[in-house]
Amino acid sequence: MIIDLPSTSTSAINKALVDLRDSGGAVALGRVLTLVVITDDAHAEDAISAANEASREHPCRVLVLARGNKRGAARLDAQIRVGGDAGASEVIVLRAYGPLVEHGETTIVSLLLPDAPIVAYWPGAAPEDLRTDSIGRIAQRRITDSAEARDPAKALELRRATYRAGDTDLAWTRLTNWRALLAAALDQPPYEPVTSITVAGAPDSPSTELLAAWLAAKLKAPVVRARTKKGTGVQSVRLERKSGAVELIRPDQVVATLTQPGQPDRRLSLARRPVKDCLTEELRRLDPDEVYGEVLAEGLPQVNKRVMSVRDAENAGKLSGTKKAAARQAAAEAQSAKVSESMKGAPPEPERGEGLPPANEETASTRRTAVKSAATKSAATKSAATKTAAAKKAAPAKQAAPRKRAAKKATA
């Protein structure tokens, strides 16, 4: 259900919400937080779609502040979405024009849920300093996405310079699977220290910078940043140890190959995570992300000390060739497909009615055989008993016959 309220006010919006609740109970009350999405009017629908998907795990009130043209008269257009158009939340879209564009906090303050945490999310361009932003000051969690900025590297430096507990970046959230796989690989014997780190990724990928910074901060080893083509994201990580290198390569942006000494190569699903998954993960926690703050403060300054191209890194032996890795991965996929096809083409196993007796007939035949055997044994036992009895009866007669003949002779 979508209700449009053109040229309205926040009091009229609150009254419409109360009427919805009283008339049909369309707006549920079990909300765990207020999610404030600050974007422009052109990208509002994408942000609403991501917020709706995230609300299915975290029921919340979503306030979308879509900033319009700053020129002209002050005007506020609103739209209330509930039911199937709002996921598991209630969405209130506020389109501000004129002087209202610069007063976001005043616009949303009367629509915030009472006694509920506030999470602010900038899906596109974010303020340079979240600490001085009117909405950033009242939010417990502040989510940005430096990958969507015009200059991701500059945006990442701004996040580092103005970091405050509660800040986070979806470029960092996209690394959750990478960090889990690398940590699991290092958590297996031999437990040797990492001597050098090489991270390859695109120059416009803040996730690559944050991954290199995280490894440098946690492993206390020198890091080399290898640059790939723009738009490729994170491509590979190589961790050098005394027994051999641990390498995670993703040549096709979908499937990665993990290589470890003494173990077979493993292919892993490692596709780029969509915004809705990253936003859902960030809404699971309302406490500060201390690891992210540590990476910004300690790890990021170490990343840009040594930068080279991928070709130079491969020639220096710091990275495996991505073409070779892609060829090995393609060969493994072809072999897997071949095995699947051979399994599909194998003749099916015969059913019970094709060449084998049905289960009930087999059981009956077995029972009949057992009965016949038992009957034969019983007949043999009875015959033996009869012969024994006859022999016992005949024995006294045989003993009496000689005595009778002796008596006849004596009489004669």
CB 43 within 8 A of CB 120: no
According to the model, what pLDDT value does residue 156 have? 94
According to the model, what pLDDT value does residue 356 have? 47
Average pLDDT of span 46-72? 90
Confidence check: pLDDT of 99 > 60? yes
According to the model, what pLDDT value does residue 194 have? 97
According to the model, what pLDDT value does residue 373 have? 59
**What percent of the chain clears pLDDT 70, i.e. is strictly above it?**
80
According to the model, what pLDDT value does residue 24 have? 63
Predicted model pTM: 0.79
- Read off the pLDDT band of 211 (50, 70, 90): very high
Please give the residue that has the higher pLDDT: either 395 or 100.
100
Output the six-digit token pair for 70: 């700053």
Query: Lowest mean pLDDT: which of 157-166, 331-340, 400-409?
Result: 400-409
pLDDT tens readout for residues 19-57: 888 876 545 557 889 999 999 888 899 999 999 999 989
Average pLDDT of span 87-116? 90
Q: What are phi and psi of 218, to 5 degrees?
A: -90, -35
Average pLDDT of span 90-102? 91
Which of 275, 249, 241, 245 has its CA nearest to residue 260? 245
pLDDT tens readout for residues 349-398: 555 444 444 444 444 455 555 545 555 555 555 555 555 555 555 555 44
d(CA 123, CA 35): 12
User: How many CB atoms within 10 Å of residue 282?
Assistant: 21
According to the model, what pLDDT value does residue 410 have? 47
Query: Lowest mean pLDDT: which of 102-116, 170-184, 233-247?
Result: 102-116
User: How many CB atoms within 10 Å of residue 341?
Assistant: 10
Q: What is the largest CA-CA distance in the chain?
A: 165
Mean pLDDT for the chain? Answer: 84
Average pLDDT of span 242-257? 93
Helix H, strand E, coil C: the string for the chain is: CEEEECCCCHHHHHHHHHHHHHHHCCCCCCCCEEEEEEEEHHHHHHHHHHHHHHHCCCCEEEEEEEECCCCCCCEEEEEEECHHHCCCCEEEEEEEEHHHHHCHHHHHHHHCCCCCCEEEECCCCCCCCCCCCHHHHHCCEEEECHHHCCCHHHHHHHHHHCCCCCEEEHHHHCCHHHHHHHHHHHCCCCCCCCCEEEEEECCCCHHHHHHHHHHHHHHCCCEEEEECCCCCCEEEEEEECCCCCEEEECCCCCEEEEECCCCCCEEEECCCCCHHHHHHHHCCCCCCCHHHHHHHHHHHHHHCCCEEEHHHHHHCCCCCCHHHHHHHHHHHHHHHHHHHHHHHHCCCCCCCCCCCCCHHHHHHHHHHHHHHHHHHHHHHHHHHHHHHHHHHHHHHHHHHHHHHHHHHHHHC
Which of 229-238, 328-337, 388-397 is predicted most confidently?
Answer: 229-238
